[in-house]
């Protein structure tokens, strides 16, 4: 019985420490340059021709993506200890070759929802490092986009 309790405790602790932290709340994210946008408002921008940037892994993008989205993989390093509003960007890599040249173009970054940090980090880098001025971060990601019945491919 003690072994079972100990095993359950070890599993519980392992799961607790492995759980991904939630991305910053919109107000905190805004201080870093990531401007939150709801799925409904992102759909309005979609309808007006905005560019969506899918920051997920290539395999995930190949399974489905927002219709017309550009692949802009954000490869984050450092694990959960680097999931902070002001994180260490030095080891991260961001696929930027597909980005529009117009720094004022409306861009919406997205990934797999509020526990996926790639789109948040990409929005900050686009704004703070790369000089884009009209960047939005769709925190709720593709799951909420699909749930709302919006177009995917």
**What domains are there in the chain, each with its CATH number?**
22-147 (3.40.250.10)
Q: How confident is the model at residue 20 (pLDDT cuts 50, 70, 90)?
A: confident
**Phi, psi of 32, rounded to the nearest 5 degrees:** -95, -5
Q: What is the pLDDT of residues 103-134, one digit of tens each?
A: 999 999 999 999 999 999 999 999 999 999 99
Q: Any bridge partners for residue 136, and if so which?
A: 35, 108
Q: What is the pLDDT of residue 63?
A: 94
Q: How confident is the model at residue 15 (pLDDT cuts 50, 70, 90)?
A: very low
In a 10 Å sphere around its CB, with 0-12 CB exposed, 13-18 middle and 19+ buried, how is residue 4 labelled? exposed
Reply yes or no on whether the pLDDT at 146 is more than 70. Answer: yes
Reply yes or no on whether the pLDDT at 42 is more than 50. Answer: yes
Which token pair is 15?
């799961």
Identify the sign of the CA torsion 41, 48, 98, 104: negative
Per-residue burial over 45-75, b = 16 or more CB atoms within 10 Å of its CB, e = otherwise: bbeeebbbbbbbbeebbeeebbeebbbbbbe
Mean pLDDT of 20-35: 93
Mean pLDDT of 37-66: 97
3-state helix/strand/coil string of 47-107: HCCCEEEECCCHHHHHHCCECCCEECCEECCCHHHHCCCCCCCCCCEECCCCCCCCCCCCE
Mean pLDDT of 34-49: 98
> CB neighbours of 2 closer than 8 A, spacing ≥ 6?
none
Q: What is the pLDDT of residue 121?
A: 97
């Amino acid at each position: 019985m003690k072994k079972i309790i100990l095993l359950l405790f070890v599993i519980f602790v392992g799961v607790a420490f492995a759980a991904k932290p939630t991305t910053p709340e919109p107000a905190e994210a805004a201080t870093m340059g990531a401007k939150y946008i709801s799925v409904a408002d992102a759909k309005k921008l979609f309808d007006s021709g905005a560019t969506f940037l899918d920051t997920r892994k290539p395999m995930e993008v190949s399974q489905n993506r927002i219709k017309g989205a550009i692949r802009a993989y954000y490869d984050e390093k450092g694990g959960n200890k680097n999931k902070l509003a002001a994180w260490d960007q030095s080891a991260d890599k961001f696929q930027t070759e597909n980005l529009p040249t117009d720094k004022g173009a409306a861009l919406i970054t997205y990934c797999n929802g509020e526990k996926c940090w790639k789109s948040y980090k990409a929005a900050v880098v686009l704004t703070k490092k790369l000089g884009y001025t009209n960047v939005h971060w769709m925190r709720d990601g593709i799951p909420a986009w699909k749930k709302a019945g919006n177009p995917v491919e």
